[in-house]
Amino acid sequence: MDAPSEFDRQIALTPEGRGRYAADLDAGWSVGGGLNGGYLLALVGNAIRNSLPGKPDPLAVSAYYLSAARPGRATVTVDVRRDGGRVATASADLVQGDQARITVLATYGDLDGLGDDVRTTAPELDLPPVEECPRGSDAPPAVLEMAPIMGRFDMRFHPDDIGWVVGKPSGDGVMRAWFRLADGREPDPISLLMVLDALPPVTFNLGMPGWAPTLELSAHVRAKPAPGWLKVRHETRNLAGGMFEEDCEVWDSTGRLVAQSRQLAMQPRL
Amino acid sequence: MDAPSEFDRQIALTPEGRGRYAADLDAGWSVGGGLNGGYLLALVGNAIRNSLPGKPDPLAVSAYYLSAARPGRATVTVDVRRDGGRVATASADLVQGDQARITVLATYGDLDGLGDDVRTTAPELDLPPVEECPRGSDAPPAVLEMAPIMGRFDMRFHPDDIGWVVGKPSGDGVMRAWFRLADGREPDPISLLMVLDALPPVTFNLGMPGWAPTLELSAHVRAKPAPGWLKVRHETRNLAGGMFEEDCEVWDSTGRLVAQSRQLAMQPRL
């Protein structure tokens, strides 16, 4: 058996009794003022998966971010609210000491047991070939220092969406990239929860380079992803009242739309 | 002081101690196999509002639907999870007897206290004039009998989206309409939670006229709506694996995007 991948080690859990898990939040997911919200979502999603035998796949997961998580020990508790028929719903909380970090509701099922009917009218994300897209790891040292998370990925940005790294944002509320985990670990429904919040916020391309804290993120995993590169697209259509929504779509290497999300985030302070 | 509107009576709550409210679910919101999910969301949203003094407005609300609610007595409990700074987060549950109907996470704030910066790139919904759009109340008797909820609204459908009532669905996963409450009660942030799930499901226009149970719905209220007609647009982009996502946008009479939502629902059985 192969050694677990970096990602699997970083979302690993130690059971501590019914619905309770210990975790060690990894500093490699730091960005700006805290740990990446997608990483926390995948870790909590992994705990929920462990609590729902026979329903391994997140169908819908909603996370409310209460305070910035820090590297180190955390506890995840899962409470199964309903388990009957084809889906089950649970709530979950991630806490550090006496600080609640993130609270979650989720519905899980078995993606293999759902129907084969697929009618996708969303246009598949069109990206230039991987080798023509700038690597995230080629960003200036100041960017990489602010965002150690960039070391977790092999991310290749659409050339039109990368001007922000040199102070020339595109002006469009869009961010697109090819995406893989750096160690080649293939995507699965749990890692997709992370992928949905892995790219820099679209506000970087609107000339607001600060940290954009997520208030709420709801993810839908729509199919098991095939191995290989993912294509990820973020967009905002309404920045107002100090907040913006950010929609995300993730396409797998076969061209299937495998995950969608929408989040509400705070506009960075200028 | 005017008598409360029909809608306000139907979402009214009787406090029963800290964070606990009694409600009487009104049969007028019946549709297909249960009560409308938007109505339940507004009622629960009203309970959360009552529990968070100084933060009256829902910013983000995520509802997970556990079982079909029935007309009659219900209890809503609200647990404030974090209240500090400009926003507060609470969980809430609606139960009938020993049956959990809906569980909710929500973040509230004060929409008046947020910034004035508005940069909306979403195109405002374009509808023919109200008087050129067919009334929901003119639907065939069989439709109105299946959906007493239609009596709560003055809904005027885009002429292109109404063929399903006579067995000729458009084939596009879109549903658009002008919207008001039937008694003229003006919209507010709580009623918007209902508006986001009031129209017939987009699957009616895909030739699937059955009930489409919502698994999860997350709503964002982005501004206080001005008085007058609302414009509502629903769309799905991905029907797959027996489920579909449905996005909704609500525009007020000044042309402002005041609410957005995304839900994941089960495809009707054919």
Please tell me the predicted confidence (pLDDT) of residue A196.
98
Provide mean pLDDT across the span A151-167: 94
Nearest partner of A174 among A259, A266, A244, judged by Cα:
A244
Nearest partner of A214 among A199, A201, A226, judged by Cα:
A201
Provide mean pLDDT across the span A47-60: 97
Report domain B6-266's class: mainly beta
Contact B119 A87 (CB under 8 A): no
Boundaries of every domain in chain A: 6-112+127-266
Please tell me the predicted confidence (pLDDT) of residue A33.
73
State how beta strands B34-35 and B174-181 pair: unpaired
Question: Confidence class of residue A142 from pLDDT cuts 50, 70 and 90?
Answer: confident
8 A C-beta contact, residue B77 and residue B92: yes
Tell me the pLDDT tens digit for each residue of A217-256. 999 999 999 999 999 999 999 999 899 999 999 999 999 9
Please tell me the predicted confidence (pLDDT) of residue B10.
97
**What tokens does A248 get?**
């995300």
Please tell me the predicted confidence (pLDDT) of residue A115.
77
Instruction: Give the chain B residue nearest A269 (alpha carbons).
Output: B115
Task: Give domain A6-112+127-266's CATH number out of 2.40.160.210, 3.90.920.10, 3.30.70.360, 2.30.40.10.
Answer: 2.40.160.210
Question: In the predicted model, is pLDDT for residue B1 greater than 70?
Answer: no
Question: Confidence class of residue A144 from pLDDT cuts 50, 70 and 90?
Answer: confident
Please tell me the predicted confidence (pLDDT) of residue A270.
60
Q: Cα A78 from chain centroid?
A: 20
**What tokens does A28 get?**
């490699």
Provide mean pLDDT across the span B73-80: 98
User: In which element (H, E) is residue A107 found?
Assistant: strand A99-109
* Collapsed DSSP state (helix, strand, coil) of residue A188: coil
Strand partners of residue A261: A219, A248
Provide mean pLDDT across the span B63-86: 96
Residues of A in contact with B268 (CB under 8 A): none
Tell me the pLDDT tens digit for each residue of A120-136. 999 999 999 999 999 98
Please report the residues numbered 173 through 202 in chain B whose beta carbons come closer than 8 angstroms to any beta carbon of chain A. 173
In this complex, the residue of A103, A117, A264 whose CB is nearest that of residue B91 is: A103
Please tell me the predicted confidence (pLDDT) of residue B4.
87
Residues of A in contact with B107 (CB under 8 A): 64, 215-216, 264
Residues of A in contact with B59 (CB under 8 A): 215, 243, 264
Residues of A in contact with B242 (CB under 8 A): 114-115, 117
Question: In the predicted model, is pLDDT for residue B2 greater than 80?
Answer: no
**Which one-letter amino acid corresponds to residue B235?**
E
CA distance B257 to chain A (A): 8
8 A C-beta contact, residue B239 and residue B267: yes
Question: In the predicted model, is pLDDT for residue A1 greater than 70?
Answer: no
The ipTM estimated for the assembled molecules is: 0.96
**What tokens does B159 get?**
């002429």
Please report the residues numbered 112 through 141 in chain B whose beta carbons come closer than 8 angstroms to any beta carbon of chain A. 114-122
In this complex, the residue of A66, A114, A117 whose CB is nearest that of residue B81 is: A66
Please tell me the predicted confidence (pLDDT) of residue B117.
82
Phi, psi of A41 (to 5 degrees): -65, -40
**What tokens does B52 get?**
């968070």
